[in-house]
Every structure is written in C-alpha cells, then in structure tokens.
Amino acid sequence: MFCDSQTDYSSLGSEERLDLVKNLYVERDVSKKINEIIESAQADSKVLPDPSNWLIVGDTGYGKTTEFERYMNRFPEYEEGGINIQPVVYVMLDEETTIKDVATLLLEALGDPSPEKGTRSERARRVRKLLKTKRVKIVLIDEFQHVVEASGDKSLPKVADFFKTTSKKAKVPFILTGMPGSLELLKLNRQLHGISNKYEIGSYDFLDNADRDRFRSFLTEVDLRLPFPEHSRLSDLDCARKLFYASGGNLRLLMNLIRQAAAHAIDCDHIRLEMVDLQYGFDKEIKYKRHDIVNPFDDDWQAPALN
C-alpha cells in the first residue's frame, strides 16, 4: 500500500512548499474516466453524423469542475491565419441561469463583443457561428442542473432544444455536469431524455474492500506529493479511517483538510504531518461544515461504524 520513495524538498522555502500544497493534485479513476469521455466524444464526432453528448453527475467535491478546468487548460486558445482558434469552451452555470443566460455565457466564453445583445434565437445563432469559426472541438457545461431548475417545466423543451440543436448544427459535442438529482430531472422530463449519454460518479465506500483500497492508494499518492522530508503515512488503516470519517469520502473536503494540516506542519517546521496538524486541519476546514461529527484526530476519539 505504501511506497518508500520521497522527493527531496530540503532546498525549498516555506512559500514554495505552501505553493506545492495549494496546487497538489492526484489523478484518480474518475479523472481518467472524465477525460476518456471527453476524448471519446471528440473522436465520435469524426465518424458519427451527430455529436455524442454526455451528462456526468456526481456530488459536489468529487472533481468534476477540477477536471473540466484542467482539460481546458491543456488546450489554450491560439492564433492561426488571423483567426483565434479555441479548441475548448468551458462555462459554469449558477442558480439564476436561464436558457437565455446560457447563450450569453457561451458568447462571453467565445469572445463575442456584445454577448447580451439580441433575442434568445439570435444569440443561439451567434453561438453556433462562433463555435464553427473558432473551430471548437468540445463544449464543457458545468452545473447543468441550474438551468433546468431555473427554467421551469414550461421552458424545458427550450432547454432541450437549445443544447441538442446547438450541438447538432455546430457539429460540436457538449459534455454537461450536474448533481445526482440531474438524473432524476432527465427521468422526469421527457423533453430532456435525448440530451446525453450518462455517467454517474460514485463515492468511496470504506466498508467495501476494493473501495477502501482505492481510497488508501489515493492517500498514498497524496502523501508522496506532500513537501516533507518524511512520509506522513496517511494511508495507514487507522489514519485512512479517520480521514474518511472526517471528509465523508468527499475529495474536496479531504484535500482541503490535508492542505490546512500541511500548512500548519510547515509553519511548525514538522518533518511530516503529525496528529496535531491533522487535528488543526479538521478544526480549520471540517468543523464548521460537518457539524454532526467530532474531530477524529483528538486523543479520545472512538471510531463509529462507517456506512
């Protein structure tokens, strides 16, 4: 479970080490799957008459947004023949986003000088034109459920029509992400059935042997990237159990707890993460987010049943 190799960080100052902690990233199975879906959708566009669109669902903190942002950063804009080429377009929706707003946000992302100008239909036409002109290969839409919820039942046909028509006419696949409830929205609303293929991101189950091993392997990789001269042994069964309990298996909470603990350890000049650092990380990051649990890094903590 644990690898003994460790990078030498002795030449780095505190600020450099803190920067490494802030940007610490470990690829997990879901990261590979999301990238596989995106690349597969692009490949399908070369052989299928209509784009292959997807809806990826999963709880907050399971890496959907991170993977979208990382993918977009891999393919930045560039100039070719006097044309600004934009391989990837990424848009995040919020709770107030209506279907008209989606077109506006896409126009903004595509560099349209007047994204709010025109009717919904006119904006949609400009979106399709810019997608073609800028040779967009993929459109990534984050938090898809917001536009469905904000639009209301009467506007659902317009939501479905916008995504399907824009994708089909521009010959560009759309990859949407949303919360688990997005699947229910698709089931309940026939207008949305044809939008996409579906992939659901599952959470870790510490009681499942295979899942527990994956969780511990993830912690091993995190440990290897922490800027300390010695391993913190995060994947040891007892520590892994405490980290799972603290975070509920939510990777965003988990990583932020570890980041806070690492910052504390650097400030205290520790050679690895100590229990006091993890205790600090919990109080700093988890205590006010998960009010129903106690700090598992306290000396008197008794492990509850995980379910």
pLDDT of residue 67: 87
pLDDT of residue 117: 93
pLDDT at residue 252 greater than cutoff 90? no
CATH number of 29-194: 3.40.50.300
pLDDT tier, 151 (very low <50, low <70, confident <90, very high otherwise): low
More confident residue, 180 or 306: 180
pLDDT at residue 139 greater than cutoff 90? yes
pLDDT tier, 259 (very low <50, low <70, confident <90, very high otherwise): very high
Distances in Å between the Cα of 284 and the Cα atoms of 147, 221, 289 are 33, 23, 10
pLDDT of residue 40: 92
pLDDT of residue 191: 53
Which sequence spans correspond to the domains of the chain?
14-24+204-285, 29-194
Interatomic CA distance for residues 214 and 204, integer angstroms:
8
- Report pLDDT digits (tens) over 191-209: 555 555 788 887 788 998 9
**Cβ contacts of 274-281, under 8 Å, gap ≥ 24:** 278/239, 278/242, 278/243, 281/257
- Report pLDDT digits (tens) over 25-67: 887 777 888 899 999 999 998 898 888 888 888 877 677 888 8
pLDDT of residue 183: 61
pLDDT at residue 283 greater than cutoff 90? yes
pLDDT at residue 178 greater than cutoff 90? no
pLDDT of residue 203: 76
- Report pLDDT digits (tens) over 222-234: 999 999 999 999 9
